[in-house]
Structure 1
Amino acid sequence: MRSILIIEDDPTIQKALSEVMLSEGYKVYTSFEADGGLEKVANNKPDLILLDLILPGKSGFEFLKEIKNSPSTSSIPVVILSNLGDEDEVRQGLKLGAVDFLVKADYDLNEVVKIIKKYFPKK
């Protein structure tokens, strides 16, 4: 079973994303902040990460740098889901290694599912 780590500090959004991913047949891990996300990556090696950029403590950009600079985790696809829609933030996220970037105000949960299926089909 494919697994997804959701790093999102808004409990409502995290719950909604978790529920839709579970209903699509994915195993789901969650964290409300980056350091907890790094721990989940180390312990669970998810197949894909959904990452918010504005998090308590360490930012999503810092998390992304750490993941992409480690040989054991650099190949995990990271999709950024953020309220930041500024072109510079999008460019920075993609430059740091994210495979996709969705602005929260501009997408619905079905779009997130489509993006995930693009990176691996459900088994």
Structure 2
Amino acid sequence: MSQETTTPTSVLIVEDDRFLRDLIQQKLTKEGFTTISAVDGEEGLKITKEQKPHLVLLDLILPGMDGFEVLRKIKSDPETAATPVVVLSNLGQKEDMDRAMKIGADDFMVKAHFTPTEIISKVRSILKEKYFQ
């Protein structure tokens, strides 16, 4: 019933953990997504502004600029404010989730609670909702 797009959809992964970043990147690529990766907040913000990915997967605990600040800057810039951001973090406290959602995250996933396949499903769901309605 739903029509799959044949156009690659770009996802920026902002994650300092190389193993997890590579794992998610491989899974997304296998599923037909174009992936871009960043290892810290400054790089993630720069790539978001320059390359305009369709979605950002954002860790909160990053070297330099933390994920909350990256999220705040993405959502306060008219050029990037509409970009969906899914927070993917080990911070699972309600306060952290509420803070990220209040700043403008489209969803919040605690790393330990989701498999890479579930993360991909969430990415698909948000992209479908955002771009293909």
TM-score w.r.t. length of structure 1: 0.96
**Aligned position for 2:124:** 117
Q: Distance in 2 between matches of 1:39 and 1:63?
A: 10
Deviation (angstroms), 1:120: 2.1
Higher relative contact order (CA 8 A, sep 6+): 1
Gapped regions of structure 1 (runs ≥ 5): none
Deviation (angstroms), 1:119: 1.5
Runs of 4+ displaced beyond 2 Å: none
Q: How many pairs were matched up?
A: 122
Q: Distance in 2 between matches of 1:14 and 1:63?
A: 17
Q: Distance in 2 between matches of 1:120 and 1:61?
A: 21
Alignment RMSD: 1.1
Paired-residue identity, %: 38
- 2:47 aligned with 1:31: no
AA aligned to 2:107 is: D
AA aligned to 2:117 is: N
Q: What whole-Å deviation, never above 9, does each CA across 1:3-54 have from its counterpart, x for those lacking one?
A: 0000000000000010001011111000000100111112210000000000
AA aligned to 2:113 is: D
Gapped regions of structure 2 (runs ≥ 5): 1-7
**Aligned position for 1:40:** 47
Q: What whole-Å deviation, never above 9, does each CA across 1:59-96 have from its counterpart, x for those lacking one?
A: 00000000000000000000000000000000000000
**Aligned position for 2:5:** none
TM-score w.r.t. length of structure 2: 0.89
